[in-house]
């Protein structure tokens, strides 16, 4: 009677419910649930029997029902910034890909899956997915998505210091100032006397911190700043800016580029002006791409360690979701790595007259 009843209610063919398993195994629904989830107090014989029957019927618990009941979906949002209507940023391709890979792995290892949610998503889309928490990449000041998620009480962990007073649960970031200062010192040590910067016009934290660090360094060593800024999301603008930088009357003899494509762009510009690297021009850029290992010459790069960031962000988020007191601080700084290649190797000073550290002016 009750068997026929549940069988009739089965509805969609091919999907067996927990009722069907209970009926087939001759036990109650409670017993099936307990047996499959390892809870309750059941003898191993019953547990095995229920598992066998469930396997035989091809039973898969409904994720929706489980989420509704437990309040946990096992889903983590990955909110990415957008330029135009395309998700992901153009200039940080390799960075994002690596970061997302690491985040996916880390989430998976702890039983969570990642949902890609562009920051400009239609409201009805991302409000229609049950999230346990969200990772936000480079949160902007007044991101409506993020602030709403926070308002809902969901844990939010950001890659990059949150701009403004965004109340995120935790964040992970590099020490961008220290990284820039390190690079400038490295270039000066290699013999650079006027270091230029290729930067962006955007106001995100990374660009802002890096640029001010450069300006402060210039002030400290007494060098006039030499930099060009361009809209970082436009790949063509980068090539033009690189060209402009090397065309200036006060042409730098070393350049640091903040964005991934700057290395090849600067190299191409140097060739146009007949500048040899590293003899006439030292080059460093921030990139995760491996192509800079086999350019002519290989270019020194700064790695922001996206793998470590992606992993750390997910760990912090899941700790918050599961209510674990995270042993680690809620603000975590990942060290950067300077991969020194030919493009910034020490060169002899061009003249022996002026000591390397004296600014020209």
Residues of this chain that bind its own copies (CB under 8 A)? 12, 14-15, 58, 60-68, 71, 73-75, 78, 85-88, 93-94, 96-97, 100-101, 104-105, 108, 111-118, 121-122, 124-130, 151-153, 235, 239, 261, 264-265, 267-268, 271, 289-291, 294-296
**Are the CB atoms for 58 and 24 separated by under 8 Å?**
no
129/64 Cα distance (integer angstroms): 11
Structure tokens that stand for 2 in this block: 């009750």
335/321 Cα distance (integer angstroms): 26
Which of its own copies, DNA, none does 30 bind, CB closer than 5 to 8 A by kind?
DNA
- Residue in 61, 74, 225, 231 binding DNA, rule: CB under 7 A: 61
Applying CB under 7 A, does 19 fall inside the site for DNA?
A: yes
Given the complex with its own copies, which of 294 and 358 has the nearer CB atom?
294
DSSP 332: E
Given the complex with its own copies, which of 271 and 357 has the nearer CB atom?
271
Applying CB under 7 A, does 167 fall inside the site for DNA?
A: no
Given the complex with its own copies, which of 232 and 267 has the nearer CB atom?
267
Other CB atoms closer than 10 Å to residue 52's CB: what's the count? 11
Which of its own copies, DNA, none does 295 bind, CB closer than 5 to 8 A by kind?
its own copies
CB of 81 to its own copies, least distance (A): 12
Ranges of H-type helices in 127-204? 144-151, 176-189
Q: At what angle do helices 306-321 and 93-109 cross, to 10 degrees?
A: 40
CB of 277 to its own copies, least distance (A): 11
Given the complex with its own copies, which of 78 and 316 has the nearer CB atom?
78
- Residue in 60, 123, 276, 346 binding DNA, rule: CB under 7 A: 60
Which of DNA, its own copies, none does 34 bind, CB closer than 5 to 8 A by kind?
DNA
Q: How many CA atoms lie within 13 A of 208 on its CB side?
A: 10
Which of DNA, its own copies, none does 105 bind, CB closer than 5 to 8 A by kind?
its own copies
Structure tokens that stand for 172 in this block: 């992970």
| Torsion (CA) 289, 290, 291, 295 in degrees, nearest 10 | 120
- Residue in 1, 13, 14, 69 binding DNA, rule: CB under 7 A: 69
Please, which of residues 28-47 interact with DNA by CB under 7 A? 28-31, 33-34, 36-37, 39-43, 46
Q: What is the largest CA-CA distance in the chain?
A: 103
158/140 Cα distance (integer angstroms): 10
Which of its own copies, DNA, none does 42 bind, CB closer than 5 to 8 A by kind?
DNA
201/203 Cα distance (integer angstroms): 7
Nearest Cα residue to 27 out of 1, 47, 10: 47
Which of DNA, its own copies, none does 29 bind, CB closer than 5 to 8 A by kind?
DNA
Helix (H) or strand (E) holding 207: helix 205-221
- Residue in 66, 110, 208, 347 binding DNA, rule: CB under 7 A: 66
Structure tokens that stand for 150 in this block: 């926070």
Which of its own copies, DNA, none does 28 bind, CB closer than 5 to 8 A by kind?
DNA
Which of DNA, its own copies, none does 139 bind, CB closer than 5 to 8 A by kind?
none
**Are the CB atoms for 295 and 263 separated by under 8 Å?**
yes
DSSP 88: B
What lies within 8 Å, CB to CB, of 225 at 6+ separation is: 197, 214, 215, 218
SS3 call for 324 = coil
CB of 286 to its own copies, least distance (A): 15
Size of the site for DNA (CB under 7 A): 33
SS3 call for 214 = helix
Which of its own copies, DNA, none does 40 bind, CB closer than 5 to 8 A by kind?
DNA
Footprint of DNA on this chain (CB under 7 A)? 9, 11-12, 15, 17-19, 22, 26-31, 33-34, 36-37, 39-43, 46, 59-62, 65-66, 68-70
């Amino acid at each position: 009677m009750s068997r026929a009843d549940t069988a009739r209610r089965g509805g969609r063919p091919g999907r067996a419910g927990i009722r069907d398993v209970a009926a087939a195994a001759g036990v109650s629904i409670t017993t099936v649930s307990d047996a499959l989830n390892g809870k309750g107090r059941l003898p191993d014989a019953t547990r095995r029997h229920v598992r066998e029957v469930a396997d035989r019927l091809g039973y898969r618990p409904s994720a929706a029902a489980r989420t509704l009941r437990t309040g946990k979906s096992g889903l983590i949002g990955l909110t990415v910034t957008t330029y135009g209507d395309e998700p992901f940023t153009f200039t940080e391709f390799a960075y994002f890909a690596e970061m997302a890979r690491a985040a996916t792995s880390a989430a998976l290892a702890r039983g969570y899956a990642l949902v890609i949610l562009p920051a400009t998503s239609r409201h009805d889309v991302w409000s229609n997915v049950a999230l346990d928490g969200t990772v936000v990449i480079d949160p902007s000041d007044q991101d409506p998505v993020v602030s709403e998620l926070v308002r809902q009480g969901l844990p939010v962990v950001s890659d990059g210091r949150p701009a403004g007073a965004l109340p995120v649960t935790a964040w992970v970031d590099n020490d961008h100032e220290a990284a820039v200062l390190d690079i400038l010192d490295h270039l000066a040590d290699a013999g650079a006397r006027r270091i230029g910067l290729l930067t962006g016009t955007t106001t995100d934290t990374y660009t802002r911190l890096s640029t001010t660090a450069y300006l402060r360094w210039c002030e400290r060593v007494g060098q006039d700043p030499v930099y060009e800024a361009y809209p970082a999301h436009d790949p063509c603008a980068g090539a033009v800016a690189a060209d402009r930088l090397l065309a200036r009357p006060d042409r730098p003899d070393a350049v640091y580029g903040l964005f991934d494509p700057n290395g090849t762009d600067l190299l191409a510009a140097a060739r146009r002006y007949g500048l040899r690297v590293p003899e006439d021009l030292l080059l460093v850029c921030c990139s995760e791409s491996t192509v800079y290992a086999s350019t002519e010459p290989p270019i020194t790069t700064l790695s922001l360690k996206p793998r470590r960031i992606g992993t750390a962000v997910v760990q912090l988020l899941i700790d918050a979701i599961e209510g674990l007191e995270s042993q680690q601080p809620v603000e975590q700084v990942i060290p950067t790595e300077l991969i020194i290649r030919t493009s910034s190797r020490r060169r002899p000073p061009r003249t022996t007259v002026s000591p390397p550290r004296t600014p020209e002016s």
